[in-house]
Each structure stands twice: as C-alpha cells, then as structure tokens.
Structure 1
Amino acid sequence: MTAADTRRGRWSLLARLTVLPGLARLLLLTQLAFNVGFYLVVPFLATHLSDDLAMAGWAIGIVLGVRTFSQQGMFAIGGALADRFGVRTAVLAGCSVRIAGFLVLAAAGDFATVLVGTVLIGLAAALFSPAVESSLAVQGAELEERGVISRTELFGLFAVCGEVGAVTGPLLGAVLLSVDFGLTCSVAAAVFAVILAAHARWLPRGPHAERRPLLAGWADIARNRTFLVFAAGYSAYLLSYNQLYLALPVELDRVGADWALGWMFALAAVVVVVGQLPLAAWARNRFGAHRALPLGFGLLSLAFAVVAGFSPWTLPSGLSLLPAVLFVVLLTFGQMLAVPVAQDLVPRLAGGRNLGSYYGFLSSAGGLAVLVGSGVAGELLDLAASPGPSAPVPWSVLALLPAVGGLTLLVLARRYSNESRSH
C-alpha cells in the first residue's frame, strides 16, 4: 500500500494496522491489551475506597496520587532500565509486577495494604511503558522515512489502540464491580497473565536495546534545558487528565449519578477511537504540530472552566449529566491534540538518544505534579460536593494549571520553531 493509500485509509484503524510491520503492530496491540486490564480496576478505585472502605477524601487523594507517582514518577528509572536491558526484559518484568499488584489490591482491606497494591500497579507501568514508547518512536522514524506513516500518526494510532482497550475495560469492570471489587482485581490479574505469556512468546529479544550505561540518559537530560522546560509545562497535562479519576466521581456524586462513571470512561474512549486520527490530521493541516500542542492544553483548561460555571447550581434532572459530559469530551479532545504531538517531539528534543530515559523523565515530571497536586485537589474538591458559592473554587484552580502549562509550551514551541528554521 502506498503513502497515498494510507492517507485515504486514515479513518480505518484496521486499514492503518495492515500497512505496518509486525513489531509496530505488536506494540500497538500491546497498548490495547494493557488498557483492558488497567481500566478494569483503576477507574473504580476511588468509589471502592469511599464506599467499601469508608476512606476520607484526603486519603483517597493520596492513594490515587501515590498510584500515579509510582507509575509516572518512576518512569525515569524504568526508562533508564529499558535503555540498559532492552524492551523485552522491561515489558515482561512490568507485567509480572502488575499481576502481583492486582492480587494484593484484591485482598486489601486497610489503607496500608491498598497503598502497597497501588504502588505495585503503578511501578509495573513504569517498567513497561517507556520501553514500548521508545521502541515505537524508533519504528515511527523508520516508517516515516519510508513514507508509510508519520510518527505523529503512529502515536495517534497508539492512543486509539489504547482507547479501544479502555472501552472494554470500564464496561467489564462495571459489571464485575457489581459482584465484588476483589473479583474485578483478580480478573485484571488474569488478563495480565495472558499478556505476559503472549509477550514471552512473541516479543522480539530487544532489537532496539541500546545497552547504554544506566545513568547516561539522565546526564543527557540534565544538560537539555529546552527539554526540561518542555517537561515542566507538559506535566500539567497528566495532572489534568488524572482528574477523570478524582474530580469526575465528585461531580457525578454531586448530581446523584455515580452509576454513570463507567459510561463516562467509555464515552472518552469512543471519542478517541472515532476522532483521534481525523483530528490529528485536521490540526496538523490547519494549525501545525507546534500550535496543536498549546491548543490542546487550552481545551484541557476549558473542560474545568465549564464545570466551574455549572457547579453553583442544581440543573434539571434531564440536564444533570451535561457538565460531566462536557468535561469528559473537552478533556479528551485536549488529550487527542496534545499527546501525539508531544510524543513525537520527544525524540526530536532528545536528538534521537536515550529515548527510554527521555520518555520516562517526561512521565516522571507529570507523576510528580500529580503527587503534589492530588492531595490538594482532593481537599479542594470537598467544596464541590454540593452546589453552592464555593463549588467553582476547585474547578477554577484546576483550570489554571493547564492554562499555565499551555502558555509555557506555546512560548517554547515558537522558540523551537524559530531555531529549527534558522538551522
């Protein structure tokens, strides 16, 4: 299939997958399978901690923040390990750790045990995700040179495959949760056991392993000031998107619609599956990649601002879900614009070196932002539990964060674009 044929097939996920070589297809389908197992459990964790274990809002915020930090926060280490030991080793180790984490969480009945389980679940992704992303970046560069697909589009496909898994995960999780949260965790562990077996059989033995010294990537990052500024601004994205797990349940509880949580995650997934590739193409042609990134952050900010505008009042029953729906849709559109562009920029800012470490550091910066911000957000969101004059406060504070991050990235994008033209 030619590049023109590929572009005409941009609306079909299956059509795009058929033109990719085996390793790229495996990496994309890996993301799909990972998300099925992950979204079986994590979207419902806050509800379980609140309703079943009667934890306070601050404790729930800490658990969710620690889960994200142990994942994104440890990505820098996981990425360095992937550079040193290769993709296969990191992915298999990550699957094993996640199985252990889900089994611990299935049996957890107190705060300390819940923390252990959530740390293991997060640490697992720190092992396998930078490895997969760095390998995909290498594949994307090769395929872009051959005219098969651009690297930005490949990362867009990566997001689509992840969301196909995320459609299945919450719906299945909602069904299992009606029986028992422990059963849900056990099923998730079984899913990752299947993933582990499949990757032990078919994942190549690290053709892209760089075998660099463990700290080589970190030293390179420390000297790369442009990337450090980029990572600081981009960290607002992860903190914002993490509010699907913390702030969205608060809004649904405010309107008496806890039952809709699974459907909201399914809505986000469907929007990505249907819209990711055409939106990426439209943004690239209309705005350019560097403008699409801050525009995505603007939509993230708008998502919180919209809920802030509705939060002081009680809407009629037929419209009660409107703020939550707008929040999910705007947040998802912001993600679709920002993330593939950012993932494509990382190898460019890194100069093609130590990609596992660079991708890991980018996620670690976001994980640190989530760790610091989740406890504060958990406290503030108590103000949004019911309609009133103080209800917009947490949503307005959360709206400021991606707005500042987007402005930072806009300035950086203009500078990077000018430097690229001058060279």
Structure 2
Amino acid sequence: MRSNGTAARRAMSLSSPRQAGIPFIMVTVLLDVLTFSLTIPVMPALVSQFAASEASAAWWMGAMIAAFSIMQFLFAPVLGALSDRFGRRPIILASIAGMAIDQLFMALAPGLIWLLVGRMAAGLTAANITAANAYIADISGPQDRARNFGKMGAAFGIGFITGPALGGLLAEVDLRLPFMVAAGLAALNFFYGLMVLPESLHPANRRPFRWARANPIGSLRALALHPAVLGLALSRACMVLAMGVMQMVWVLYTTKRFGWTELDNGLSLAAVGLTTVLVQGVLIDRIVKKLGEPRTALLGIGLEATAYAGYGAAGSSTAFAAFIPVHAMSGMSSPAIQSIVSRSVGADEQGSVQGAFASMQSLTFILAPLIGAELYENFTAAGATIAIPGMPFYFGAVMLVLSGLVAAWAMRRVPTPKQSEPVTEAA
C-alpha cells in the first residue's frame, strides 16, 4: 500500500471508508476541543495584559466568548450545506487548516482587537462539527449509529477534560505556548487527514448549495419540513440551556454553599467528564441494544433532570456529590438523539440538518450565561431578592422535563427511513 502512493489511498477510500474515517473523525473532534480548551486558562491572563483595567478585561472576555458562539451560530449551517454540495472531506480539511492558521494568528496577536478577530475565526472553524456529524451519519448503519455518535461524545469529553490542564501547564512556560501547540496539533491533523480521510458522501447524494437553506434563519426554517427533527432540536436546545446555566453557576454555587476550593471544583467537574466519557464511549452501545434509541434518549434526559433537582436540593457537600454519577449517566441521551436525527432525513440533507442543529445549540449557549447570571444574582447570591439557593439547578431541571416531553412528542413522529444503509463509496 505504501509503495503505490495515491493509488493506494484511492483503493482504501473505495474499500474501507469506515475503518479510516471513524478514527480520523474522533481525532478531529478531540483536537477541535483541545484547540478550544487549551486556551481556557490562558485567555483571561492574556487579555489582562492588554486591557486597561480589570473591568475592561472582563468586558473583552465576555465579548470574545459571545463572538465565538455567534460565529458558530452563523456558520454551522453554512459549512453543513457546503458539505452537502462538495462532500465532507474538503470542508473538514479546510476548516482544520483554518484552525491551524487561526491559532498561530492568536499566538502572535499584538492586541485585543486581533485576539477578538482570532476568536471569531476560531468560532467559524469550530463549526466543522456539523460536517463531522454528517460524516458519521454517512458511514454508520442503523446498528452502529448511536455507538459512533457516542464515540464522538467521548472524544469531545476527553478533549475538554485534558485541554485546560495541558493549557495551564504550557502557560507556565509561556503564555503564548498553548496557542502554538494548538496550531501544531491542528496542522498535524490536517496532514493526517489529507493522507487517510476518504470521502463519505457519494455524488448521487449531493445537492446544490442554496443560501436560502444555508443561512442560520433559513436552516432553522428548513427544519420545519421534518417535524420530528425540529422537535428534537427544540428538545436539545432545552438541554443545552440547562447545561449552560449549570456551567455558569457551578463554581460560584459550590464555593458559596459548601466552601469548595478550586481543587474540589476541578475534581468534581473532572468526575462528571470522565464518567460521561465512559458512558458515551463504552456503555452506550449496550444500553441502546437493550432499550432502543428512543427509550435511551428519554432515560438520559430523565436522569439529568433528577441530577439537577438533586443538586438544587442538596443540603451538604456529600449529598451534592452523590448526584454526580446520576448526572454522568445522562450522557446516554445525546448520542441516541443524534442517531435518531441522522436517520430521520435523507443522505443529501445530513450536513444542512446537522448545521441547523448546531446553530440552534450555539444560539442557546449565548443566552444561557445571561440567564444563569440573573438566576444566581436574584435567588442565590448574598442579598438575593428571594433566597432559593438551588434555583439555577431547579431551572435546569424544569428545562430538562420540558426537553423530555418535547422529545417524546418528536420521537413518535420519526419517519421510517427511506434507506437502511447509507452509501459509503468514495466520490
């Protein structure tokens, strides 16, 4: 195979797209998250170097977080629609190359405006998750969809757990080093994909690019053509809203209520992440085979609602921590929902639908911190108008109950797939 060069790679694309494609997509998702999370412990310090005051630094940090999510909201459906037109491979590789350039750009950025531009470009390139999800949908049969989406979730979790720790260690050497390492990882990933990644979307399943479908508003409207997918997208938005509020208040809440230290919070969040990776990477296939995708999704949402309610009601540190394993088990819902969505639409729509899905989630992530801050200030913080310390978590539990009800409605409307197996031959 090595001696034949390009011909060998072509043969591999035709004969075994799953074997080559799935590991690469896992690596891509892992490096996407690593690239983002490596800079989490670094950005505040880097911004503070340029900002005139602490208040100014806080404003710029908020602007950069919002800019990242807004760019994902705008461009996730665009990249998804482009992948439906030109195939998954060129979109994935182009976005990875863009990621490498962007991280190098931020490593050399001389001021705040440049950093903001870099964060906007990072949000655009991170929107390649839509093409990655569509790739998994292309190459997965009914029996392994949930397992493959679970692997993606596990890769995401590993990246988010290890990224901040690695970024913190690198920053001890130099504040710009995490960006350099992220650029290098993305560049390696690009050349790796250039050599091994086969195309997953057959030419017969491609469709013309139309801006009316690719813009974020048009992509969300297009979901109305698939009531089940629209319902699951709304269900997922409720889940993301609950998660975003939780992430915003977790450290503030546990520090104020239980006196947790930075180490306590780090260990608790790592526990959630590691056990979720176990569920999505190892257990999801067994659970789906036993319960089926709809029941798995609803069980996961129910467990998450239970965990949030438990967090809010916990009167002690031990009681709060006891709900972490329950929370982690809820990770089974996301792969099951992604699998249902992927088999609810045609092969020529996977990119557009995944883009609309991601766009809605990005919009929700913009709103979640604002809602979380208001809930914490009015019900939990010292001098709160109405003292209900667990209100942010109760809010999350209510959102998850609503998510479950909407998901149950949507899954009753999932159509019978027009084709049992996706076409996986290379173009």
TM-score bracket for the superposition, by shorter chain length: 0.7 to 0.9
Residue 138 of structure 2 corresponds to: 138
Structure 2 gaps of 5+ residues are 1-15, 418-427
Q: Read off the aligned partner of 1:400 and give its amino acid letter.
A: V
Aligned length, in residue pairs: 386
Cα separation, 1, equivalents of 2:112 and 2:390: 30
1:391 aligns with 2:392: no
1:283 aligns with 2:287: yes
Aligned ranges 1:176-195 → 2 under 5 Å? 176-179=170-173, 181-195=175-189
Cα separation, 2, equivalents of 1:110 and 1:244: 32
1:363 aligns with 2:358: yes
- Using the TM superposition, give the Cα deviation of residue 367 of structure 1 relative to its aligned residue in structure 2, in angstroms: 1.4
Cα separation, 2, equivalents of 1:326 and 1:73: 39
Residue 36 of structure 1 corresponds to: 34
1:340 aligns with 2:335: yes
Cα separation, 1, equivalents of 2:229 and 2:191: 37
What is the alpha-carbon root mean square deviation over aligned residues?
3.7
Instruction: Specify the SS of the correspondent of 1:350.
Output: coil
Cα separation, 1, equivalents of 2:48 and 2:313: 26
- Using the TM superposition, give the Cα deviation of residue 351 of structure 1 relative to its aligned residue in structure 2, in angstroms: 3.3
- TM-score, normalised on structure 2? 0.76
Classify 1:113/1:263 alpha carbon distance in 2 versus 1 (closer, same or farther; 3 Å): farther
- Using the TM superposition, give the Cα deviation of residue 396 of structure 1 relative to its aligned residue in structure 2, in angstroms: 2.4
Classify 1:187/1:249 alpha carbon distance in 2 versus 1 (closer, same or farther; 3 Å): farther
Q: Read off the aligned partner of 2:81 and give its amino acid letter.
A: A
Cα separation, 2, equivalents of 1:302 and 1:47: 37
Structure 1 gaps of 5+ residues are 1-17
Aligned ranges 1:2-401 → 2 under 5 Å? 21-42=19-40, 54-55=54-55, 63-103=64-104, 105-106=106-107, 113-126=114-127, 128-141=128-141, 144=142, 150-179=144-173, 181-204=175-198, 208=202, 210-215=205-210, 218=219, 221-243=223-245, 245-251=247-253, 253-254=255-256, 255-260=259-264, 262-277=266-281, 279-310=283-314, 319=317, 323=320, 325=321, 329-334=325-330, 336-382=331-377, 384=380, 389-401=387-399
Q: 1:292·1:337 contact (CA, 8 Å) conserved in 2?
A: yes
Deviations along 1:360-411, one digit per CA (max 9) or x if unpaired, are 1111111122223332323433454569734323332233222212211122
Q: 1:73·1:365 contact (CA, 8 Å) conserved in 2?
A: no
Q: Read off the aligned partner of 1:118 and give its amino acid letter.
A: R
Q: 1:268·1:329 contact (CA, 8 Å) conserved in 2?
A: yes
Aligned residues: percent identity?
24
- Using the TM superposition, give the Cα deviation of residue 137 of structure 1 relative to its aligned residue in structure 2, in angstroms: 1.0
Cα separation, 2, equivalents of 1:37 and 1:165: 9
Q: 1:174·1:262 contact (CA, 8 Å) conserved in 2?
A: no
Cα separation, 2, equivalents of 1:67 and 1:191: 20
- Using the TM superposition, give the Cα deviation of residue 224 of structure 1 relative to its aligned residue in structure 2, in angstroms: 2.2
- TM-score, normalised on structure 1? 0.76
- Using the TM superposition, give the Cα deviation of residue 356 of structure 1 relative to its aligned residue in structure 2, in angstroms: 0.6
Of stretches 368-377 and 358-367 in structure 1, the one that deviates more from structure 2 is: 368-377
Cα separation, 2, equivalents of 1:184 and 1:193: 14
Q: Read off the aligned partner of 2:292 and give its amino acid letter.
A: G
